[in-house]
Structure 1
Amino acid sequence: MKEFLEIFSDKETVQSYKFIEEFIVYIDTQRIGVKIEKDEYGRYHHSCSHHYQGSEQAAPYVSSLCIANSKKEAYINAHRELLSFYNANDENKKWVKSGYY
Structure 2
Amino acid sequence: MSASVASLNNLPDIDFVNKDVDTLLTKMIADYQEAYQSSTGTAKTLASGDPIRIWIYAQALRIYSAYQLIDQAAKYNLLKYSSGKYLDHLGALVGVTREAATGASVTQ
- TM-score, structure 1 length as denominator? 0.27
**Higher strand proportion, which one?**
1
Whose Rg is larger? Answer: 2
- TM-score, structure 2 length as denominator? 0.26
